[in-house]
Amino acid sequence: MFQKISELWEYRELLFNLVKRELKVKYKRSVLGFLWSLLNPILMTLIFTFVFALILRIRIPAPSNADVPAQFLFPAFLLSALLAWNFFSVSISVAVNSIVGSSNLVNKIYFPREILPISTVLANVVNFLLELLVLLVFLAVLGFKFYLYLPFLPLILLIHIFFTIGVCLIVSCLNVYFRDVQHLLGIILLIWFYATPVIYPLDLVPERWQGLPMHSLLKLNPIAAIVLSYRDILFYAKFPEFSVMIYATIISISTLAFGFFLFNLYEPNFAEEV
């Protein structure tokens, strides 16, 4: 493990260059560039607001310490978790192909293969940070008072990135052996999205349903813990629950460790399998 990390460190320039490549290719030759990546969450927000706030009339109670116009409550509520979810889901759906799609590299050059999924995640981190910045400005203009809790954001981000890299390592590795992983992933991510309280507040979920402790079950979902922490800070301007944070940290680090372990186990055969 330690040896692997030091090797990755040695290849940091390659990692950096691959991240750069991914970002450059994404925004090259498009006039709007980065604005495109904002368009997606904006559109999603419009749709979800229309469906859930306008038609289904989900009411989001305003956070106690902020005075926000009512019509912006749902979009703010949604975006404070949606961006975090999007980073996770986009990273995974791109990273799943990172090894298989780079067969020409994997077959011809040696470098730690972890670099491929990790660079995908890091490129998306850059995107996510830019989106987050826009969101912060938007929320600040609306009158949300999250400033005090902002220093905690990097910590959550770190947990978030660890978890995402861990999952990406696992799926990209599995996809080398079973190509249906990439197809299956679309369905899994859809289910996972609705299993995560992104578009609905946790309070609307019944505490017990058919004898199942729904709240506890939903909170077991590690990405829910992470996404809700973002919302706690940005929307509710409060500390995330300590126990939730501990849980998310433990799960993230174990997922990352397991991801590295699995990846390392199968990495030597990648060249002949892709």
Sites of contact with other proteins (CB under 8 A): 13-14, 16-18, 20-21, 24-25, 28-29, 104-111, 177-181, 184, 268-269, 271-272
Rounded to whole angstroms, the Cα distance separating 67 from 28 reads: 41
Taking the least distance from each CB to other proteins, the nearer of 82 and 100 is 100
Could you tell me where the beta strands, DSSP code E, fall in the chain?
208-209, 212-213
Residue 209 bridge partners (DSSP)? 212
SS3 61: coil
Q: Produce one character per residue of 241-270: b if its CB has 16 or more CB atoms within 10 Å, e if not.
A: eeebbeebbebbeebbeebbeebbeebeeb
> In this complex, which beta carbon is closest to other proteins, that of residue 52 or of residue 111?
111
Work out how close the CB of 222 gets to other proteins at its nearest, in angstroms, rounded to a whole number.
24
* Smallest separation (angstroms) from other proteins to the CB of 194: 23
Neighbours of 216 (CB within 10 A): 10
Q: Which is nearer to other proteins, 140 or 188 (CB)?
A: 188
- Is 177 or 239 the residue whose CB approaches other proteins more closely? 177
Output 76 or 123, the one with its CB closest to other proteins: 123
* Residue 18 CB, nearest approach to other proteins (Å): 8
Q: How far lies 239's CA from each of 146, 149, 166, 242, in Å?
A: 10, 7, 25, 8
Q: Taking the complex as a whole, how short is the minimal distance between the CB of residue 109 and other proteins, in angstroms?
A: 5
Contacting residues for 274 by C-beta, under 8 A, at least 6 apart: 99, 100, 103, 106, 107, 176
Distance, CA of 249 to CA of 251 (rounded, Å)? 6
In the complex, minimum distance from the CB of residue 177 to other proteins, in angstroms, rounded to a whole number: 7
Query: Least CB distance from residue 2 to other proteins, whole Å?
Result: 19
CB closer to other proteins, 61 vs 180? 180
